[in-house]
Amino acid sequence: MSELIEVLTKDGSYSLRSVLFQENFHSLLGALEETKSKFTATSNLQRFQGKSLNVLDICFGLGYNSASLLNELIKQKSYLNLYALENDKNPLAYSLRNKSFLKLWDPKVKKIFDSLYRKDYFEDKFFKCSILWGDAREKINIIPSSIKFDLIYLDGFSPQKCPQLWTIEFLSKVKENLNPEGYLITYSSSAAVRKTLRNLGLDIFTIKSSFKNRTFWSQGTVAISKFDNNKLEPNFNFKKLSLMEEEHLLTKASIPYRDQDLNSSKDDIINRRLDEQLFSNLLSTNKWREKWDMTKLSVKSKI
């Protein structure tokens, strides 16, 4: 698969950079920090203490999101049915060789990852884990339709770099696999992604940023089918979209990515969207940035 370059992030955790996609797997601010703040904390895992849950990890990569999830569930003795989708075995191979990565987690995580790498499968009393290798657009169809996920992590390369996993058609399939009260969590704050999720009938929320600088206005997105907005609690890691974010969804940036037959190339998807934006009467994204004094994009906000 693609060439990968080791990257040491600012919190001391390791990540990789894909030469093919010309993008890092994680924010340079910290791979571990990004996983914990955007995915693990946002999952509100205490809801499942002593219970069972179904999780889908799309773009497993190095395994940070699943490792952090497993680490917490081991502590609270929850039961997990995990499916992971990934196109490249090399990042997982790297994780299994990296002692710094493995030291972050309970030793059982290494045991699970090793089994996933060698056998695509792991099962014991508490955990049943499967990884499906290949194009996620195809492999998602292998998951039994009877399984609805309490958590779906969507952590692929950005829409500009890998639009195949952010189209209306693929996100529609993802939504079909989501438990009505389940959380779809992604680092992306893309207007196209958010508008698509809303058009699919999901309520969307912004993951709270730990930065005061407006450049870092969101850490990502949570989408939920059935959620009582009145039950949003201050300790939740997400909140309603701000006025600035709502207006972002009224710009040309909100025009979706399309892949009708789920087999289009990256360039075809990008060019199709550019043509649609060209003839759109929606507000330009630059005008939105000027209004809200957005002089530059946030790190991995992917608008």
DSSP 277-291: HHT--SBPHHHHHHH
**Residue 299: pLDDT band with limits 50, 70, 90:** very low
Mean pLDDT (whole number) for 86-111: 97
Quote the CA–CA distance of 301 and 208 in Å, as a whole number: 12
Report the pLDDT value the prediction gives residue 234, as an integer from 0 to 100.
79
Is residue 283 in some structural domain?
A: yes
Is residue 302 in some structural domain?
A: no
End-to-end, the C-alpha distance of the chain in Å comes to 27
CATH number for position 33: 3.40.50.150
Domain of 38, in residue numbers: 27-291
> Structurally, how many domains does the chain consist of?
1
Q: Which token pair is 143?
A: 């998951």
Is residue 4 in some structural domain?
A: no
- pLDDT, one tens digit per residue, over 216-271 is 678 899 999 988 877 788 778 999 999 999 999 999 999 999 999 999 999 999 99
Report the pLDDT value the prediction gives residue 293, as an integer from 0 to 100.
84
Contact 200/184 with Cβ under 8 angstroms? Answer: no
Report the pLDDT value the prediction gives residue 212, as an integer from 0 to 100.
54
Strands 149-154 and 52-58: parallel
Is residue 5 in some structural domain?
A: no
Distance from CA of residue 295 to its chain's centroid?
Answer: 25
Which has the minimum average pLDDT: 41-55, 183-197, 219-233?
Answer: 219-233
Quote the CA–CA distance of 173 and 29 in Å, as a whole number: 32
Mean pLDDT (whole number) for 37-65: 96
Report the pLDDT value the prediction gives residue 7, as an integer from 0 to 100.
97
- Residue 15's φ and ψ, nearest 5 degrees, are -140, -170
Q: Which token pair is 220?
A: 């990502």
Contact 249/194 with Cβ under 8 angstroms? Answer: yes
Report the pLDDT value the prediction gives residue 228, as an integer from 0 to 100.
80
- Kindly tell me the burial class for residue 275, based on how many C-beta atoms sit within 10 Å of its own C-beta (0-12, 13-18, 19 or more): exposed
Buried b (16+ CB within 10 A) or exposed e, 192-219: bbbbbbeebebbbbbbbbeeeeeebbbb
Is residue 129 in some structural domain?
A: yes
Instruction: Enumerate the β-bridge partners of residue 53.
Output: 80
Is residue 62 in some structural domain?
A: yes
Q: What is the dihedral of CA 78, 227, 186, 142, to 10 degrees?
A: 70
Is residue 15 in some structural domain?
A: no
Angle between helices 90-97 and 107-119 (to 10 degrees): 150
Q: At CA 162, angle to CA 252 and CA 165, rounded to 5?
A: 85
Report the pLDDT value the prediction gives residue 296, as an integer from 0 to 100.
54
Mean pLDDT (whole number) for 267-281: 97
